[in-house]
A = this chain, B = another copy of it.
Amino acid sequence: MFFHVKETQYRAKPSKPDPVYAKKLQEVLGGQFGEISVMMQYLFQGWNCRAEQKYRDMLLDIGTEEISHVEMLATMIAQLLDKAPVEEQEQATKDPIIASVMGGMNPQHAIVNGLGASPNDSVGYPWNARYTIASGNLLADFRANLNAESQGRLQVVRLYEMTDDPGVRDMLSFLIARDTMHQNQWIAAIAELEEKEGVIVPSTFNREYELTDVANKFMSCSEGTESKSGRWASGPTPDGKSQFDYVANPVATGQAPMLQPAPGYIHGTPPFK
């Protein structure tokens, strides 16, 4: 069960309104790697967790914190929209500054949301649940989480560079630090699991059933051999089972497919005699 206190987790107040920036900031609220995504991802991983209690507890700890981040961003965006200019068009287009503000705003911030935040990204595309990853395999999911915090911190940093509002930067400096922490956290959690399970997900599949012949081969399906000079193309594989093997000219080993004609009730292209 959940409870709420009125104060935000950290300060969330801009120095002045900026409706164009409000549109951009939506990306880290409602975008693929915004705070709604990590909130939902950690909560669902926690609720679905069938492993040791410490994982469930940890996931719900961080999932709950992310709701607080969603709250901070929504609060910030609503204030960035304070008194956004929604005036008569003719007047506005005569003043290039106002016109550019109005051109750069998300029109739904005024028409649909009445100067409030919305759960959409920076182009107005709605957040959707296909962004949420919860597979039941924690090593797989912690890798998803590390990715989410990496993409997320990268986006927040880019947004930090796009403003010089001290209030906005203050809040972002908090979020960036939390993303640093969360990257550290998932790296540590991944290391703990990899030590127990090994590095290949899922660890429980019997590797005799896979075609081990090709489990260590880098196939250069693209002309050129610059790709040969990476760590991924020589030396021992991280799973400790083999050595990387660089195949400069991979070949097809299957057949050329021949499909059977469709039955009559499908009304595909008829066989012409």
A38 at the interface (CB under 8 A from B): no
- Which residues from chain B contact A121 at a C-beta distance below 8 Å? 108
Q: Are B266 and A110 neighbours in the complex by a CB distance under 8 Å?
A: yes
Q: Are A232 and B106 neighbours in the complex by a CB distance under 8 Å?
A: no
- Which residues from chain B contact A101 at a C-beta distance below 8 Å? 93
Q: How far apart are A146's CB and chain B's nearest CB, in angstroms? A: 5
Q: Are B50 and A218 neighbours in the complex by a CB distance under 8 Å?
A: no
Q: Find A254's partner among B72, B103, B146, B229 (CB 8 Å cutoff).
A: B72
* Contact residues of A between 52 and 67, Cβ < 8 Å to B: 52-58, 60-65, 67
Q: Are A266 and B114 neighbours in the complex by a CB distance under 8 Å?
A: yes
- Which residues from chain B contact A147 at a C-beta distance below 8 Å? 133, 140, 143-144, 146-147
Nearest B residue to A272 via CB reads B196
In the complex this chain forms, how many copies of it are found?
A: 6
Q: Are B209 and A51 neighbours in the complex by a CB distance under 8 Å?
A: no
* Contact residues of A between 90 and 147, Cβ < 8 Å to B: 90, 93-94, 96-97, 99-104, 106-108, 110-140, 143-144, 146-147
Nearest B residue to A255 via CB reads B7
- Which residues from chain B contact A144 at a C-beta distance below 8 Å? 147, 150-151
Given contacts A177-B211, A183-B201, A187-B238, contact A8 B155 (CB under 8 A): no
- Which residues from chain B contact A82 at a C-beta distance below 8 Å? 259-260
* CA of A132 to CA of B126, assembled, Å: 10
* CA of A262 to CA of B107, assembled, Å: 16
Residue contacts A-B, CB under 8 angstroms, 7 given? A58-B226, A111-B158, A128-B130, A139-B150, A143-B143, A157-B205, A158-B267
